[in-house]
Amino acid sequence: MTGAAPRSRSFARGTVSRDAAWSLAYTSVLRIATLGVSVAIARLAGSAGTGAFGIALQITALASMLAAFNLPQSLAKHLAETEHPARRRALLRTSGFLVLGLGLVVGAALTALAGWLGTRVYRDPSLATVIFWCGPLVIVTVGFAWVEGALQGVRRFETLTRWGALVSFLDLVIGVGAAFWGVASVLVSRTLIRAVAVTFALGRWFRTGSVAARDPAAPATRPMAQFSEAAGPLLGFAGPALLSAGIVLFAQAILRLLVVRGSGLGAAGQYQAADSVAQGLTLIPAAAAAAFMRAVSSGRDSGYAALPGALRRGLERVQGYNLGLCLGVIGVVPWATVVLFGRDFEAARPVLVLLAAAYGLLGACSAFGAAMLGRGEVWMGVAVNLLWAMVVLGLYGTGSVPTGATGAALAVAVGGLVLLLVCVAFVAPRWAVPVRSLLPGVLVTVGSLAIGCALALSPAIPAPVAALACFVLGIAIFLRWGLPTLMPAAAEAAGP
């Protein structure tokens, strides 16, 4: 090389950090609303009701992903790659029609098969009504995801956050009230709220052309020609990306199915209670990944020259914030589950400890996943996610870990560790990223989470001592990797 590679503007700190901050706010308000409703159901319906709600969320997520065909994410990527209004309008129109049609088919099929799924698959007839109402929820959820992908693609993260905050507020207020009438009522309320939100978005941003305005100078193109031109790239990326995401959701659904069939709906409720808290630990990695993926996609013309440095910084900065939260949750586990969900959920303590460690490991993997999608290497994502699913289901299905909620959480944690090691050892070198540059972040991640789990799960260590040690360790990591990014001068001095 005769000189330094040009640095892509896509990886400018202000751009990615600002988008990630708004994305974090968006995902946070959605997560808080779901947690609030989960707590209400746990208090009103016990572990069985909580298990039913968790299964409903899992089925809705899996069916919605299938119905959306990962088109919202594909839409975000392709919108990020073009500034041409006509091209953007074609992408929006084509993806919208595809999502609507697939959503109607999958939602109707889920409602029609509700009785069979509850009785034959889950072996619990009481789930039939819950699954029935997942069908309409799927239809509106895919529309919700389409709006989300469109706003991310055109970098309107601030608008997306405000919209999501209103939906989450309604979810929380109306959902808690609906919980008095059961899980099915909560699903109905979420369906109605999302239907109104999508209708508002279509009228406010898309029909008025504020997301992709018309270009008067552009030549007229027939709708069918626009559809065929845009459908190919959208589906070409969405298909493998769908398979990659579907493997994860399918594995999670199978894991819960095995827990229900082997240990009962109550054990699934313990897992759901712990998972509803632990899922909050995915917010920072998910927010950073949304902004990072868009930045990588926008840097295609530069040959992704800035990716090696950006990946190292991204891994350290995400963990600088997220590891402290993971260790904090691990530290307060002895009190958190009982305070939030009641005495019936004491058995969820070790489940939450292990899931917090699992999501800390998977949070480190999120930067690699975002880079794969941004570079269009979706088949690589399929391979690594398939490996994770095989490890998790293999461990639990063969009895290599204990049965029940605790064993399921342990399998997820081991799968996260394997996935992180594979990304560092095999994926990073493909992008000319020196493995040595990633080792500090990886070693701190694995070591700190292992120490936190050992402290929290050891009966010989008093809970206050374990909590204090976890907090000190989390604060130390934040001071090293998290705090400097809050100070512009220090961040600028760090260099690319």
The per-residue pLDDT for range 28-56, each reduced to its tens digit, is 788 788 888 888 888 888 878 888 888 88
Average pLDDT over residues 394-418: 89
Using the predicted structure, report yes or no on whether residue 288 has a pLDDT greater than 90: no
Contact 409, 354 (CB under 8 A): yes
Task: For residue 304, give every residue at least 6 positions away whose Cβ sits within 8 Å of its Cβ, in sequence order, or none.
Answer: 8, 296, 375, 431
Task: For residue 273, give every residue at least 6 positions away whose Cβ sits within 8 Å of its Cβ, in sequence order, or none.
Answer: 38, 42, 47, 50, 337, 340, 341, 345, 348, 351
User: How far is it, in rounded angstroms, from Cα 96 to Cα 101?
Assistant: 9
Question: What is the pLDDT, as a whole number, of residue 493?
Answer: 38
Say what percent of the chain tops pLDDT 90.
17
pLDDT tens across 146-190, in order? Answer: 888 888 777 777 888 888 888 889 988 998 889 898 889 999 999
Which of 449, 482, 476 lies closest to 330, judged by CA?
Answer: 449
Using the predicted structure, report yes or no on whether residue 7 has a pLDDT greater than 70: no
Using the predicted structure, report yes or no on whether residue 8 has a pLDDT greater than 60: no
Question: What is the pLDDT, as a whole number, of residue 416?
Answer: 93
Contact 431, 304 (CB under 8 A): yes
Using the predicted structure, report yes or no on whether residue 394 has a pLDDT greater than 50: yes
Using the predicted structure, report yes or no on whether residue 382 has a pLDDT greater than 70: yes
Question: What is the pLDDT, as a whole number, of residue 208?
Answer: 52
- Domain locations in the chain as residue ranges: 12-213+225-236, 264-488
To the question of pTM greater than 0.75 for the whole model, the response is no
The answer to which of 124-128, 175-179, 202-206 has the lowest mean pLDDT is 202-206
Question: What is the pLDDT, as a whole number, of residue 121?
Answer: 84
pLDDT tens across 224-257, in order? Answer: 444 445 555 565 555 666 677 778 878 888 898 8
User: How far is it, in rounded angstroms, from Cα 391 to Cα 412?
Assistant: 8
User: How far is it, in rounded angstroms, from Cα 372 to Cα 245?
Assistant: 12
| Position 221 confidence tier, pLDDT thresholds 50, 70, 90 | very low
Using the predicted structure, report yes or no on whether residue 89 has a pLDDT greater than 50: yes
Which of 170, 55, 491, 156 lies closest to 314, judged by CA?
Answer: 491
Contact 392, 419 (CB under 8 A): no
What is the phi/psi pair of residue 218, to 5°? -75, 140
Longest Cα–Cα distance in the chain: 75
Question: What is the pLDDT, as a whole number, of residue 358?
Answer: 93
